Amino acid sequence: MVDIKIDKDACLGCGVCVNTCPVGMYELNDDKATIVGNLDDCTLCRACESSCPAGAITISE
């Protein structure tokens, strides 16, 4: 199972993850990234993790 962690303190609220994720896993709420998609839909492409300028997203299996 996929585990996605977002460090809310590190998150800049830039929305790169929202725009990068091919399955719509994220939204910005209160200027912070929030997981809104089903974790089972994550393709493990890690686009969000690698594109986050703050390094606030960590994905593990």
Taking the domains of the chain in order of start, what are their residue ranges?
A: 3-56
Over residues 2-29, the mean pLDDT reads 98
CATH: 3.30.70.20, 3.40.50.300, 3.30.420.40, 3.40.50.620. Which one for 3-56?
Answer: 3.30.70.20
Res 6 pLDDT > 90: yes
pLDDT tens for each residue of 27-51:
999 999 999 999 999 999 999 999 9
pTM for the structure as a whole:
0.92
* Beta carbons within 10 angstroms of residue 49's beta carbon: 18
Residue 15: CB partners within 8 Å, gap ≥ 6? 28, 33
What pLDDT, on a 0 to 100 scale, did the predictor assign at position 1? 84
Q: How many helices and strands, by DSSP H and E, does the chain display?
A: 2, 4
What pLDDT, on a 0 to 100 scale, did the predictor assign at position 9? 98
What pLDDT, on a 0 to 100 scale, did the predictor assign at position 5? 98
Percent of the chain with pLDDT over 90: 97
| CA 34 to chain CA centroid, nearest Å | 7
